């Protein structure tokens, strides 16, 4: 027998020994039974397969509940079960139901160990809405008798009733809304004896152990609770699947704070756009107002043209670039709406949002950003947007200077409260403290800022590194030689002349915890496709991947789909002509970039960037004319699943 065979035999022996020591099934030891368990007895989903419940947006600005008062007869999910005492003595019993979002959760068990996963406490689980209620008594059941329990629960935000989500004495459940996706339930029935062995922080989910919150799913399925000998534990998967789709025809709420410098900001208010109580309750979106960095100023050519509509050739671009005098240029920054409700319409008939970048008139030079932001935050989800945003290139493939963006950003509070929506701690070097603080910003363990982007514009690839930046020939304002000013793009840029870049970005605030954290160009694979991800330097706060596609394909049709699939450990960006024809254009996971875990909102915008943000871009914002006509975009549907 050689050494290998000997080691193999020893391994088999060890496995057999461990198996022999494993306790037998607890249920087999119980001298009582739990039978006839039924969930959601008062709710009939559309189909029995998907068990979908669309979240009710009525009153949801204060937090979603599932079900809402309108969705079941009593505003609860009813359940029932029967306990039969098969022992020879009467016993007292207690029960508790937990629920947990299974689609977007971290595993309860850490990798390669029986220890709890470090992020298991972040999972969205709950129980009775009143977290001071622990196990409910069933009462005493005599020997051979049985008792059927009828009860109900509902899924609410801030299920642990954590203080951090309270503001001015009020439990702001909307700050930790229920996650979308599939839910499981966990039914626990215990006897007197075992109940005493269950720690308070499991009986009462609002309480914490010395290590913080402990997931009851971990406790009962993998932890100490698994050792309770006189306890019934059963997990039921897929009891309900929550989805959300905001009604875009419910009006546009205006945040007064965003227009605080304009006392006349209500000038264009109407019944569908404003800040009255009805719109506050009903509207699912707010007019988004960009933060404009004063340093993003550029000197624009004094030309007003409908680039996409009426045409603007490369020769015209080149001529104006070469022959505009310095004193003719218009110093400006991207601008934001002075008056809300003028550049955004909520269409209640077609349940869509229409946005428009307003036209410029001579002397009123404007490159004005426009967009909407949702009002109901979620953590994780597959966020899909059906939209017809403006075309970016004209028939000569000249860019109109706009960036179509579908992106997500961390949610803020209603007041000065801080700390309720921070990302999980960054254990390695910390996060850059601010979004805007530059490369020498201090680092902090926790930060609120998170952002996940689709930014779609005319720019060039950063990767592979040896192809960046493109080498553009110097132009020379020599009217005697058109070839001096009418300069063609380099061949590699010309090859993508009709294409736009779908830029997929995760703002990880330069947290270096991921194992493969790096800067420069790097590769990552997902489902057999390889993506180049790029970070400018170690202190750069975001990683970006770019996918190039024809402008006509994405923005030439009646609509297109954009999807950010935000999961606890990864983000997948998909686009496609139909919802069932999406394809992956970007992929980032926790091995290369810290995935945000705080609650975020969705934004859809058409915005003008200073192209200094996008080095190597063939067209510079300052050489692109001001828009002559309004530039429209339409958002038809948003789903969060």
Q: Give the footprint of other proteins on this chain (CB under 8 A).
A: 255-258, 260-264, 286, 288-291, 293, 302-304, 313-316, 318-319, 323, 325, 327-331, 362-363, 373, 396-397, 403, 405, 407, 409, 411-416, 435-436, 449, 451, 453, 455, 477, 479-483, 485-488, 494, 497, 601, 603, 605, 607, 609
User: In terms of CB distance, is 272 or 321 closer to other proteins?
Assistant: 321
**Element housing 194 (H / E):** helix 192-195
User: In terms of CB distance, is 261 or 474 closer to other proteins?
Assistant: 261
Do strands 431-432 and 443-444 pair parallel, antiparallel, or not at all (unpaired)?
Answer: antiparallel
CA distance 81 to 305: 70
Least CB distance to other proteins at residue 542 (A): 10
Closest CA to 253 of 218, 288, 223, 220: 288
Per-residue tokens: 17: 């020994």
Which three-class secondary structure state does DSSP give residue 163?
helix
Least CB distance to other proteins at residue 434 (A): 8
Residue found by looking up tokens 């290998």 in the block: 4
Least CB distance to other proteins at residue 157 (A): 16
Per-residue tokens: 123: 């999972």
E strands of 1-55, at which residues? 32-39, 52-54
User: In terms of CB distance, is 263 or 528 closer to other proteins?
Assistant: 263
Q: What is the 3-state secondary structure (H, E, C) of 92-120?
A: EEEEEEEEEECCCCCCCECCCCCCECCCH
Least CB distance to other proteins at residue 507 (A): 9
Do strands 285-287 and 252-253 pair parallel, antiparallel, or not at all (unpaired)?
Answer: parallel
Other beta carbons within 10 Å of 457: 24
203 preceded by a cis bond (ω within 30 of 0):
no
User: In terms of CB distance, is 24 or 291 closer to other proteins?
Assistant: 291
| CA 571 to chain CA mean position, Å | 9
Least CB distance to other proteins at residue 330 (A): 7
Contact by Cβ (8 Å): 212, 205: no
User: In terms of CB distance, is 86 or 414 closer to other proteins?
Assistant: 414
Least CB distance to other proteins at residue 439 (A): 16
What sign results for the dihedral spanned by CA atoms 22, 28, 32, 38? positive
User: In terms of CB distance, is 204 or 410 closer to other proteins?
Assistant: 410
Contact by Cβ (8 Å): 304, 268: no
Least CB distance to other proteins at residue 611 (A): 13
Query: Cα separations (Å) of 249 from 61, 242, 274, 353?
Result: 16, 21, 14, 7
User: In terms of CB distance, is 133 or 478 closer to other proteins?
Assistant: 478
Please count the CA atoms within 13 angstroms of the CA of 108 that sit on its side-chain side: 15
Other beta carbons within 10 Å of 362: 8
Closest CA to 563 of 296, 409, 382: 382
135 preceded by a cis bond (ω within 30 of 0):
no
Which three-class secondary structure state does DSSP give residue 278?
helix
Least CB distance to other proteins at residue 258 (A): 5
User: In terms of CB distance, is 300 or 384 closer to other proteins?
Assistant: 300
Least CB distance to other proteins at residue 315 (A): 5
Is residue 559 left, alpha or beta, with left meaning phi > 0 and alpha meaning psi from -120 to 50? Answer: beta
Least CB distance to other proteins at residue 322 (A): 8
Contact by Cβ (8 Å): 399, 315: no
CA distance 234 to 236: 7
CA distance 497 to 550: 9
Contact by Cβ (8 Å): 371, 405: yes
What sign results for the dihedral spanned by CA atoms 214, 216, 221, 224? positive
Least CB distance to other proteins at residue 152 (A): 33
424 Cβ partners below 8 Å, 6+ apart? 119, 122, 446, 597
Least CB distance to other proteins at residue 162 (A): 20
User: In terms of CB distance, is 130 or 293 closer to other proteins?
Assistant: 293
Least CB distance to other proteins at residue 521 (A): 22
User: In terms of CB distance, is 150 or 494 closer to other proteins?
Assistant: 494
User: In terms of CB distance, is 293 or 523 closer to other proteins?
Assistant: 293
Least CB distance to other proteins at residue 19 (A): 56
């Amino acid at each position: 027998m050689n050494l290998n065979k000997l080691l193999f035999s020893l391994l088999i022996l060890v496995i057999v020994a461990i198996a022999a020591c494993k306790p037998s099934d607890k249920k087999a030891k119980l001298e009582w039974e739990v039978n006839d368990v039924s969930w959601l007895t008062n709710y009939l989903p559309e189909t029995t397969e998907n068990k979908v419940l669309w979240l009710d947006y009525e009153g949801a600005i204060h937090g979603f509940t599932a079900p809402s008062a309108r969705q079941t007869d009593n505003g609860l999910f009813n359940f029932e079960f029967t306990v039969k005492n098969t022992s020879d003595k009467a016993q007292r019993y207690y029960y508790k139901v937990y629920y947990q979002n299974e689609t977007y959760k971290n595993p309860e068990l850490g990798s390669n160990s029986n220890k709890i996963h470090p992020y298991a406490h972040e999972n969205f689980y709950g129980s009775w809405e009143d977290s001071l209620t622990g196990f409910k008594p069933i009462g005493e059941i005599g020997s051979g008798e049985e008792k059927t329990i009828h009860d109900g629960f509902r899924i609410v935000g801030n299920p642990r009733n954590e203080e951090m989500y309270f503001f001015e004495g009020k439990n702001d459940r909307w700050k930790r809304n229920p996650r979308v996706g599939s839910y499981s339930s966990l039914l626990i029935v215990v006897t007197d004896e075992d109940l005493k062995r269950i720690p308070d922080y499991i009986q009462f989910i609002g309480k914490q152990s010395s290590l913080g919150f402990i997931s009851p799913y971990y406790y009962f399925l993998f932890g100490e609770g698994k050792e309770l000998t006189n306890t019934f534990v059963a997990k039921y998967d897929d009891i309900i699947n929550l989805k959300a789709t905001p009604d875009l025809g419910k009006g546009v709420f205006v945040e007064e704070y965003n227009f605080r410098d304009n006392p006349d900001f209500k000038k264009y208010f109407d019944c569908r756009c404003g800040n009255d109580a009805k719109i506050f309750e009903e509207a699912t979106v707010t007019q988004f107002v960009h933060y404009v960095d004063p340093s993003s100023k550029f000197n624009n050519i004094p030309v007003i043209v409908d680039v996409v509509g009426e045409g603007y050739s490369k020769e015209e671009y080149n001529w104006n670039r070469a022959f505009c005098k310095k004193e003719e240029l218009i110093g400006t920054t991207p601008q934001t709406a002075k008056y809300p409700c003028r550049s955004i319409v909520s269409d209640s008939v077609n349940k869509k949002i229409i946005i428009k970048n307003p036209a410029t008139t001579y002397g009123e030079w404007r490159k004005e950003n426009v967009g909407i932001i949702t009002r109901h935050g979620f953590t994780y989800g597959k966020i899909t947007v059906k939209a017809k945003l403006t075309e970016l290139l004209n028939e000569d493939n000249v860019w109109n200077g706009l960036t179509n963006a579908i992106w997500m950003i961390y949610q803020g509070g209603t007041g000065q409260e801080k700390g309720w929506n921070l990302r999980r701690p960054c254990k390695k070097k910390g996060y850059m403290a601010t979004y805007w603080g530059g490369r020498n910003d201090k680092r902090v363990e926790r930060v609120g800022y998170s952002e996940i982007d689709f930014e779609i514009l005319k720019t060039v690839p950063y990767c592979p590194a040896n192809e960046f930046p493109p080498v553009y020939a110097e132009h020379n304002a020599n009217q005697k030689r058109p070839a001096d000013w009418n300069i063609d793009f380099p061949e590699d840029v010309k090859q993508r002349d009709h294409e736009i870049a779908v830029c997929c970005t995760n703002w990880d605030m330069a947290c270096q915890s991921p194992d493969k954290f790096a800067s420069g160009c790097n590769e990552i694979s997902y489902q057999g496709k390889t993506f180049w991800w790029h970070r400018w330097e170690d202190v750069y706060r975001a990683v970006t991947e770019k996918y190039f596609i024809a402008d006509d394909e994405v923005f030439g049709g009646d609509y297109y789909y954009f999807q950010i699939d935000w999961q606890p450990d990864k983000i997948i960006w998909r686009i496609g002509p139909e919802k069932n024809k999406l394809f992956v254009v970007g992929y980032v996971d926790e091995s290369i970039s810290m995935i945000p875990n705080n609650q975020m909102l969705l934004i859809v915008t058409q915005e003008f960037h200073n192209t200094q943000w996008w080095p190597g871009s063939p067209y510079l914002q300052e050489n692109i004319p001001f828009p002559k006509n309004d530039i429209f975009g339409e958002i038809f549907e948003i789903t969060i699943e």
